[in-house]
Structure 1
Amino acid sequence: MRCVVFGATGYIGGRLVPELVQAGHRVRVVARTPAKLAEVPWRDRVEVLRGDVTADADVREAVAGQEVVYYLVHSLTQHDFTDIDQHAARTVAAAAQAAGVERIVYLGGIVADRVPLSRHIASRAEVGTIFRESGVPTVELRAAVIIGSGSASFEMLRYLSERLPAMVTPRWVHNRIQPIAVRDVLYYLVQAAGLPADVNRAFDIGGPDVLTYLTMMRRYAAVAGLPRRVVLPIPVLTPWLSAQWVNVVTPVPRALAIPLIESLVHEMVCHEHDISDHIPDPEGGTTPYERAVELALARIRNAQVPTRWSDADIAGAPADPLPSDPDWSGGSLYQDIREQRTDADPATLWSVVEAIGGENGWYSFPLAWSLRGWIDRLGGGVGLRRGRKNPLRLHTGEALDWWRVELIDRPRILRLRAEMKVPGLAWLELGVEPEPGGGARYHQRAVFQPRGLAGHLYWKAITPFHDIVFGGMARNITGTAEHRAPATTTEDPGPPHK
């Protein structure tokens, strides 16, 4: 079948596309930033279109000639995500109906019995209603917490369980949840493409276990080999206060934690299993919770996490100017430029550059980086703890601590766009150039476009520390490269330099 996927750069979409290809479907993907897909292993097996789900012309082009529309888009990190999601859903629904699309497949959330619903769940339910009333047969799959390496829900569970041997918790930790493994979600999504035209409804999907969030944390600790967690529920901890705590303790930023936790206030248990009347259960049944945790942890240990929640944009926009643009809107542009020659060969130097960040550190004044990360987290930003998916290799569009990989031209240039809370736009560009007589030259450029007076004052305030931070980075990166053997493999990054 001919399938178009909206949300292919997201957590579920990035895993669904290769499953659809493997199932024999012809796949078209739509992305606001196609460069994010430049290095995915399935790139040459699909058609890629640049497009925005809120732009009528983009959506009409995307659905033209397609039989199935997969809609895996949401805007949780936007303040007005409810309005954005409904507008996008109506745009896609109208275009799909006009183009004669035969099926819409949408992944939503389990709708609790109690009201009022959280804004997150209410918005997801409204999007499902828009699709089901569009005139295009729609399958809405409703899931609770998805257990898989890199999912926001799993990362929140993982870090809370690992970092807090004892914790005070809100009452919602006793609410029942029916988690589902990401592999089972993908199975149902793929199978839904082939359902007959008379199926136009929502289906709850879940794993075999119904657990409280407290039990999920304790069972996670058992699977991970951690001591039993001590938990003291406190009734005064509201979802908003809980989100602030999650923002500090886990990599999940406050903007994403708030809607997720607001949803956990409701019990999220399947009301029915009618999906089995149309799609048989996965072979061997759906994945038990402990097994799903084991699989997720194994992928994390082996650096085989194909997508993460952070793959979606948290800040910035495709229309933001790049540091290479000739004309800068807004006038002023500040730069800190460093160059360092090294006797290390270019390949070795590049291996150090590409391994920067995460557990490998930033090669410069770790206390300052850590402090800046904590300040960003307290302000609701992403901080430093998003880390990186693979300790050695980066991909365009990937989150890297508080940066986003905007460009990687291996083995020449790595450009990062800042997603921290700053009064302006910021980039860090690292480059490697071979020297004619041997060795290499390292280029480093920090770029800042201030926004208003606060932006100018911010740059002036941090300028005295540039030699320590940026100068130290340049010296330590080249120094690390000189102490390594020539790069003939990408399997060993050497000792991390914090």
Structure 2
Amino acid sequence: MILVVGGTGRLGRAVVPLLLQAGQQVRVMARGTSQPFPEKMGDDVELLRGDLASDTDCRQAVAGCTAVVFAASGFGAKDTNPRAVDRDGAIRLIRAAGAAGVRHLVMMSMHGAAPNGPIDYLRCKAAAEDALWSSGMDWTVIRMGALLEQRLEIMAAPLESKGKVPVFGSGSVPVTYTSVRDAAAVVVRALRDPALRNRVVDWGSQTLTANEVAEALFARAGRGSAQRIPAAAVRALSVAAKPFSPFLARVAGAAAWEESGAASFEFAPARSEFPDIPVTGLQQVLEVSGTPGPLA
């Protein structure tokens, strides 16, 4: 049995079908608040409504499992936060998994994770990684870039309603993105390939500027223009928004970090080890999403 924590989220929904195709039995743990909790995901999928804030739920989730995929995140959720999910929740689950005899845990992390990272999210990811390394289990840490599909959805939503695409900062700074399809593929590979055990892997799909993403969205929709938010305004918003919208403050803080250039990284070395895993870039994601409208 493989546990997928956050299995109803964007990444979890991509991982679960791949595990089923590989003949695995899967248990999905999710709160069922940020995303609807399904009645059924397949005959070999056990659904568990649980909260990472609960020791009891974490123990129940890992019971009888040989491996765990941690795909939950509090960054993009308005009703929680990275400290509760990506740090404290992850550490709580890691301890429960170690005590239950889980053999391998795959942790989805973020490029730039470090104890002294410039934004709280990266510091939370670093704390979870540290707990995993000292857990006694086999582990794999996959440090992704920003999820490409999520960024496209954020930028495309105002285009549909207002004909505008928000561009934070200069729009000319490169950012490395990871597509959901690519992230899911390397998760499944890590669960079966010893070459990915006990190592940190930087896994990206394509490096793009915000201007390039915006132009691709304009071409897809056949219309639109950029709504530019200056870098100074982004930095100010990351502080000023905290009292009334911690979510908006997190988004602005991440945008300010990206403007520094630190969100671009070299992913070719890891990719060259696993050339059979396809690379899914911007155009492929847009092609899959079809005609203008919400992205899949």
Band the TM-score falls in, shorter-chain normalisation: 0.7 to 0.9
Partner residue, 2:186? 188
Partner residue, 2:218? 221
Amino acid at match of 1:286: V
Match of 2:234 among 233, 238, 241: 238
Moved over 4 A (4+): 33-36, 160-170, 230-233, 242-245
Alignment TM-score, normalising by the size of structure 1: 0.50
Amino acid at match of 1:119: D
Partner residue, 1:138? 139
Partner residue, 2:123? 122
Amino acid at match of 1:238: V
Partner residue, 1:355? none
- Point out the structure with max Rg over C-alpha: 1
Match of 2:281 among 281, 284, 288: 288
Shift of 1:215: 2.0
CA, structure 1 residues 297+240, in 2 after alignment: closer, same or farther (shift >3 Å)? Answer: farther
State the distance in 1 between where 2:39 and 2:216 align. Answer: 36
State the distance in 1 between where 2:246 and 2:196 align. Answer: 39
SS in 2 for 1:8: coil
Which residues in structure 2 correspond to 1:43-82 (within 5 Å)?
43-76=42-75, 77=78, 81-82=82-83
State the distance in 2 between where 1:62 and 1:83 align. Answer: 17
CA, structure 1 residues 199+256, in 2 after alignment: closer, same or farther (shift >3 Å)? Answer: same
CA, structure 1 residues 167+294, in 2 after alignment: closer, same or farther (shift >3 Å)? Answer: closer
Shift of 1:199: 2.2
State the distance in 2 between where 1:9 and 1:93 align. Answer: 20
Alignment TM-score, normalising by the size of structure 2: 0.81
CA, structure 1 residues 181+63, in 2 after alignment: closer, same or farther (shift >3 Å)? Answer: same
1:178 aligns with 2:161: no
Shift of 1:184: 1.4
State the distance in 1 between where 2:234 and 2:228 align. Answer: 15
Which runs of 5 or more residues in structure 2 are unaligned? Answer: none
| More helix as a share of residues | 2
Give yes or no for contact 1:27–1:47 (8 Å, CA) kept in 2. yes
Partner residue, 1:262? 253
CA, structure 1 residues 242+221, in 2 after alignment: closer, same or farther (shift >3 Å)? Answer: farther
Shift of 1:27: 0.7
State the distance in 2 between where 1:263 and 1:75 align. Answer: 14
State the distance in 2 between where 1:172 and 1:127 align. Answer: 32
State the distance in 1 between where 2:207 and 2:32 align. Answer: 38
Shift of 1:138: 1.6
State the distance in 2 between where 1:112 and 1:135 align. Answer: 21
1:110 aligns with 2:100: no
Partner residue, 1:201? 199
CA, structure 1 residues 112+102, in 2 after alignment: closer, same or farther (shift >3 Å)? Answer: closer
State the distance in 1 between where 2:96 and 2:207 align. Answer: 39
Shift of 1:75: 2.4
Shift of 1:255: 4.3
Give yes or no for contact 1:7–1:71 (8 Å, CA) kept in 2. yes
Which residues in structure 2 correspond to 1:474-493 (within 5 Å)?
none
Shift of 1:46: 1.0
The number of aligned residues is: 286
Alpha-carbon displacement from aligned partner over 1:71-96 (angstroms, at most 9, x marks no partner): 11222335664255322122111121
**% of aligned pairs identical?**
24
Partner residue, 1:90? 91
CA, structure 1 residues 261+172, in 2 after alignment: closer, same or farther (shift >3 Å)? Answer: farther
Shift of 1:133: 2.5
State the distance in 2 between where 1:17 and 1:61 align. Answer: 19
Give yes or no for contact 1:106–1:128 (8 Å, CA) kept in 2. yes
Shift of 1:161: 4.8
Which runs of 5 or more residues in structure 1 are unaligned? Answer: 246-252, 306-498
Alpha-carbon displacement from aligned partner over 1:182-202 (angstroms, at most 9, x marks no partner): 211211122111132882122
CA, structure 1 residues 156+255, in 2 after alignment: closer, same or farther (shift >3 Å)? Answer: farther
Shift of 1:26: 0.9
Alpha-carbon displacement from aligned partner over 1:171-191 (angstroms, at most 9, x marks no partner): 353321112222112111221
SS in 1 for 2:91: helix
